[in-house]
């Protein structure tokens, strides 16, 4: 790190944080970033990219000279996380770093912005400040688009372009993204100067990630989830649902069954979302039930199990979800609970991600739980849903819907889904 010209102040902060050696994305991108090049970097959440772009802006920021670096992030949680990480690296520098996002009062931000050198923010709130003339981007030397593909997914691309146009043309632009779809590549061509393109290997180790699925009737899905959470040897677990209502429903019932669970989704206030993340990080809870707002951009360490209570509608979200585990040499497991309504989405995952291997597991005997939601209750008759044979996919091979036109690459002899 010293050979890159990094100052002793920052090196000391890195030592305090027990930084030992650079990650792949840091090793590949930092020489380019420090040299002032524009960079498009393909890397996953948790790969160390905040340090990759944070050191340069910290090293060159001058106190009292206005906002010199702007980092755009897709979510409030990521804005907080990035600002917090850069603050750790800045402990021996008198530089002001603030996070700017919606869902909280704008007035404290208005007071802090004139004293900031580095701003991390979500597109909507940054545009709000631009409209109010409470932010001055005329001194920005470095612009970072963090989780660029996620911003595209969330519909922020027009907002991002408006913000870019308010920044000086003579600047360094850095783009970090898990994937580089066409719209992101076009954005790079339009606003970046001969960017160097680099790519880090997936931070998830596929050899250490076991992926399985259970075929389960809808009215047994919650019971199976609770059974697995209680019997799997797990550290921290994330349970993904497709809607806010389902997230609340699942979290409520897990707590009712004495599991230390909490929900997080976009319908919560910022304070409630921050509290949930704080409790998860401290392991006061060990099951986080969430929508895809938590799938990207949050660097959560120690997640051993991912549960897909619902299979996501977009195949790439499946990859983002399972990317929360099997990191940095640790073991991980992704468990998919498939009821009839999940099959189309699951088929799409298999079709679009040809290297995915998901093994079928025989459903264990589970005790049916009492559901706390009014008017909804799982049946308590145990005879109707017994064990199915390992080759009996959904109990009806000849039905047409799940017969030979079912999941592509389904290898019945191995009980797995493997696209070839």
- Residue 202 pLDDT grade (very low, low, confident, very high; cuts 50, 70, 90): low
Q: Report the percentage of the chain scoring pLDDT > 70.
A: 82
185 and 319 inside one domain = no
Check if the beta carbon of residue 411 is closer than 8 Å to that of residue 420: no
pLDDT over 80 at 116, yes or no: yes
221 and 169 inside one domain = no
Arithmetic mean of pLDDT, 299-323:
85
225 and 111 inside one domain = no
Q: Starting at the earlier edge strand, list the strands of the sheet with 172-177.
A: 97-100, 118-121, 69-72, 142-146, 172-177, 39-42, 196-199
pLDDT over 70 at 142, yes or no: yes
Check if the beta carbon of residue 85 is closer than 8 Å to that of residue 55: no
- Distance between CA atoms of residues 232 and 303, nearest Å: 13
Arithmetic mean of pLDDT, 124-145:
97
Arithmetic mean of pLDDT, 26-46:
88
Host H or E run for residue 212 = strand 209-215
297 and 218 inside one domain = yes
Arithmetic mean of pLDDT, 216-240:
91
- Residue 2 pLDDT grade (very low, low, confident, very high; cuts 50, 70, 90): low
340 and 220 inside one domain = yes
- pLDDT tens per residue, range 315-331: 878 887 887 776 655 67
197 strand-pairing partners: 40
* pLDDT recorded at residue 330: 67
Check if the beta carbon of residue 65 is closer than 8 Å to that of residue 138: no
143 and 221 inside one domain = no
Tell me the whole-structure pTM to 2 decimals: 0.66
172 and 265 inside one domain = no
Arithmetic mean of pLDDT, 351-365:
87
- Distance between CA atoms of residues 39 and 211, nearest Å: 34
Check if the beta carbon of residue 35 is closer than 8 Å to that of residue 257: no
The closest alpha carbon to 166, from 70, 62, 56, 63, belongs to: 70
- Residue 375 pLDDT grade (very low, low, confident, very high; cuts 50, 70, 90): very low
pLDDT over 80 at 389, yes or no: no
Domain endpoint, select from 199, 215, 238:
199
Domain endpoint, select from 199, 224, 240:
199
* pLDDT recorded at residue 266: 76
Question: Is 264 in a helix, a strand, or coil?
Answer: strand
301 and 336 inside one domain = yes
Q: Report the percentage of the chain scoring pLDDT > 90.
A: 50
The closest alpha carbon to 143, from 237, 70, 244, belongs to: 70
- Distance between CA atoms of residues 7 and 264, nearest Å: 39
Torsions phi, psi of 148, nearest 5?
-60, -40
Sign of CA dihedral 124, 125, 130, 132: positive
137 and 170 inside one domain = yes
* pLDDT recorded at residue 49: 85
* pLDDT recorded at residue 277: 78
131 and 45 inside one domain = yes
Give me the domain span that covers residue 191.
2-199
- Distance between CA atoms of residues 314 and 340, nearest Å: 17
The three-state (H, E, C) secondary structure of 381-404, written as one string: CCCCCCCCCCCCHHHCCCCCCCCC
* pLDDT recorded at residue 178: 78
How many distinct structural domains can be found in the chain? 2
215 and 172 inside one domain = no
- pLDDT tens per residue, range 250-281: 999 999 999 999 998 878 776 777 788 778 77
Token pair of 84 as six digits? 């917090």
Token pair of 284 as six digits? 């006061």
* pLDDT recorded at residue 295: 58
187 and 276 inside one domain = no
Torsions phi, psi of 154, nearest 5?
-85, 5
């Amino acid at each position: 790190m010293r050979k890159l010209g990094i100052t002793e102040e920052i090196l000391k902060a890195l030592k305090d944080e027990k930084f030992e050696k650079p990650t792949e994305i840091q090793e590949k991108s930092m020489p380019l970033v420090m040299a002032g090049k524009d960079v498009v970097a393909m890397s996953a959440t948790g790969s160390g990219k905040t340090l990759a772009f944070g050191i340069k802006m910290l090293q060159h920021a001058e106190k009292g000279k206005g906002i010199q670096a702007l980092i755009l992030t897709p979510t409030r949680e990521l804005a907080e996380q990035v600002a917090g990480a850069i603050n750790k690296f800045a402990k021996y520098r008198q530089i002001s770093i603030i996070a700017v996002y919606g869902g909280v009062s704008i007035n404290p931000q208005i007071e802090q912005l004139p004293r900031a050198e580095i701003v991390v923010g979500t597109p909507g709130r940054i545009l709000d400040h631009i409209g109010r003339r409470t932010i001055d981007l005329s001194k920005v030397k470095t612009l970072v688009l963090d989780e660029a593909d996620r911003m595209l997914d969330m519909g922020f691309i027009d907002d991002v372009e408006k913000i870019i146009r308010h920044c000086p043309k003579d600047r360094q632009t850095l783009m970090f993204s898990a994937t580089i779809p066409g719209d992101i590549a076009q954005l790079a061509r339009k606003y970046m100067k001969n960017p160097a393109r680099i790519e880090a290997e997936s931070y998830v180790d596929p050899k250490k990630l076991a992926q399985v699925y259970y075929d389960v009737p809808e009215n047994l899905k919650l019971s199976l989830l609770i059974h697995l959470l209680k019997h799997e040897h797990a550290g921290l677990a994330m349970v993904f649902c497709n809607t806010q209502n389902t997230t609340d429903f699942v979290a409520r019932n897990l707590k009712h069954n004495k599991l230390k669970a909490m929900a997080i989704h976009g319908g919560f206030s910022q304070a409630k979302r921050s509290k949930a993340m704080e409790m998860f990080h401290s392991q006061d809870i060990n099951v986080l039930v969430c929508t895809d707002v938590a799938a990207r951009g949050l660097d959560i360490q120690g997640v051993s199990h991912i549960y897909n209570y619902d299979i996501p509608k977009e195949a790439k979200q499946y990859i983002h979800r399972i990317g929360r585990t099997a990191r940095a040499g640790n073991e991980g497991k992704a468990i998919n609970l498939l009821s009839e309504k999940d099959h189309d989405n699951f088929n799409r995952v298999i079709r679009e991600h040809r290297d995915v291997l998901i093994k079928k597991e025989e459903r264990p005997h589970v005790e049916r739980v009492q559901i706390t939601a009014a008017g909804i209750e799982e049946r308590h008759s145990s005879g109707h849903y017994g064990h199915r044979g390992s080759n009996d996919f959904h109990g009806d091979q000849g039905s047409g819907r799940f017969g030979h036109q079912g999941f592509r690459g389904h290898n019945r002899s191995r009980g797995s889904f493997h696209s070839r």
